[in-house]
């Protein structure tokens, strides 16, 4: 996913400050547990875009929701995203030795500790929701459902399973499903979850959920166009099925729908429109440079 973190630096600071406080050094004498915390923070606090929690905060801002109500949910999103990266890098999955210019977690701490660090982030994501929204139990239940659906076998995990299944021949519908699940599910949850925090109307919640769906798929299509290599095609790249022209047209349609959904927000929705347009702009640059 391309970088636009310079546009939302203040929101990134809010997320990172919350993350630093959450996994501060435990008041225990066990060196082994402290080692686990080091492993967690190694990945959680590594330089990153924090796109998913930042998106939640931007949606909250557009809907005039107090950001303090949304930060805990955004933090849980980042926990889930980080755990997925730790596990994806393991030898049994993608077997990557480097991420964001640093050794991956299992290279730095060993496979066993990396596995436990990922497990910890997954479980803490839901513990954090239950504690942070304990005074609003109905909201807590909705957020747990939203994040569980996005991160489990109805979302990200299902997408990862499709991605590692070498026996599968992808149709357009199947590849779109892969992208919606593996990449798009957490992005959709980021937008939907913010709406849940603000207890907006069902119509507005549905609109923001659709905004997240369009945005998530658009990001993946833009990545597919950027990453496309005719000489070494990836089987899960949409360009392989549709070609550059049709993939770009599909991206344009998703971008337009995203912008229309938040068009009524006026100046409050400017940042969301910029994010949606960003995908189209980077593809336009790709074609101009090509």
If one compares 239 and 231, the residue with the highest pLDDT of the two is 239
DSSP 186: H
How much is the pLDDT for 27?
75
Quick one: pLDDT at residue 285?
Answer: 65
What is the chain's mean pLDDT, rounded?
Answer: 92
Which pLDDT value is given to residue 28? 73
Give residue 8's pLDDT: 84
In the 3-class helix/strand/coil scheme, how is 3-49 assigned residue by residue? CCHHHHHHHHHHHHHHHHHHCCCCCCCCHHHHHHHHHHHHHHCCCCC
- In b/e form, how buried is each residue of 44-53, taking b as 16+ CB within 10 angstroms? beeebbbbbb
Q: What is the pLDDT of residue 79?
A: 99
Residue 144's pLDDT band (boundaries 50, 70, 90)? Answer: very high
Note the pLDDT tens digit of each residue in 51-83: 999 999 999 999 999 999 999 999 999 999 999
pLDDT of residue 165: 86
Q: Supply the range of the domain harboring residue 89.
A: 5-289
Q: What is the mean pLDDT of residues 153-173?
A: 89
Region of poorest pLDDT, from 55-59, 150-154, 212-216, 240-244:
240-244
**What are the residues facing 103 on neighbouring strands?**
98
Report how many domains make up the chain: 1
CB 189 within 8 A of CB 152: no
Residue 90 has pLDDT above 90, yes or no: yes
pLDDT in tens, 93-128: 999 999 988 999 999 999 999 999 999 999 999 999
Cα–Cα distance for residue pair 28/33, rounded to 1 Å: 8
Instruction: Please give the pLDDT value at position 289.
Output: 55
Residue 233: per-residue pLDDT: 78
Mapping DSSP to helix (H, G, I), strand (E, B) and coil, where does residue 99 land? strand
> Average pLDDT in the 159-180 region?
88
Contacts of 73 (CB under 8 A, 6+ apart): 53, 56, 129, 132, 143, 147, 193, 194, 196, 197
196-208 pLDDT, tens digit per residue, is 999 999 999 999 9
pLDDT over threshold 70, residue 5: no
Q: Is the pLDDT of residue 6 over 80?
A: no
Pairs from 84-89 (Cβ < 8 Å, separation ≥ 24): 84/118, 84/151, 84/156, 84/160, 85/43, 86/43, 86/114, 86/115, 86/117, 86/118, 86/121, 87/115, 87/118, 88/160, 89/114
- pTM for the full model? 0.93
Percent share of the chain, pLDDT over 90: 78
* Rounded Cα gap, residues 237 and 228, in angstroms: 7
Residues 6 or more apart in contact with residue 15 via CB below 8 angstroms: 50, 53, 54, 57, 71, 74, 75, 78
pLDDT of residue 30: 87
Distance between CA atoms of residues 117 and 106, nearest Å: 10
76: domain CATH number is 1.10.600.10
pLDDT at 252: 95
Going through the chain in order, the beta strands assigned E by DSSP cover 98-99, 102-103
């Amino acid at each position: 996913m391309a970088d636009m973190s310079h546009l939302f630096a203040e929101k990134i600071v809010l997320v990172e400050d919350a993350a630093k406080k959450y996994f501060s050094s435990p008041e225990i004498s066990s060196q082994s547990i402290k080692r686990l915390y080091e492993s967690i923070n190694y990945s959680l606090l590594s330089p990153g875009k924090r796109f998913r929690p930042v998106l939640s905060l931007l949606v909250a801002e557009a809907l005039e929701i107090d950001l303090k109500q949304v930060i805990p949910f955004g933090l849980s999103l980042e926990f889930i995203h980080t755990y997925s990266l730790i596990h994806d890098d393991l030898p049994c999955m993608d077997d990557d030795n480097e991420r964001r210019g640093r050794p991956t977690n299992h290279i730095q701490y060993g496979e066993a500790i990396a596995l436990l660090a990922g497990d910890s982030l997954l479980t803490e994501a839901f513990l954090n929701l239950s504690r942070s929204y304990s005074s609003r139990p109905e909201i807590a239940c909705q957020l747990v459902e939203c994040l569980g659906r996005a991160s489990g076998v109805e979302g990200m995990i299902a997408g990862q399973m499709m991605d590692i299944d070498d026996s599968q021949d992808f149709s357009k519908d199947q590849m779109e499903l892969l992208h919606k699940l593996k990449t798009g599910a957490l992005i959709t949850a980021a937008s939907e979850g913010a709406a849940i925090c603000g207890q907006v109307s069902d119509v507005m919640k549905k609109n923001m959920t659709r905004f997240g769906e369009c945005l998530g798929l658009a990001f993946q299509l833009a990545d597919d166009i950027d990453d496309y290599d005719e000489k070494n095609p990836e089987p899960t790249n949409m360009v392989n099925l549709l070609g550059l022209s049709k993939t770009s047209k599909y991206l344009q349609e998703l971008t337009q729908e995203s912008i229309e959904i938040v068009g009524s927000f006026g100046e409050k929705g400017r940042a969301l429109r910029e994010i949606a347009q960003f995908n189209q702009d980077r593809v336009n640059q790709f074609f101009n440079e090509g």
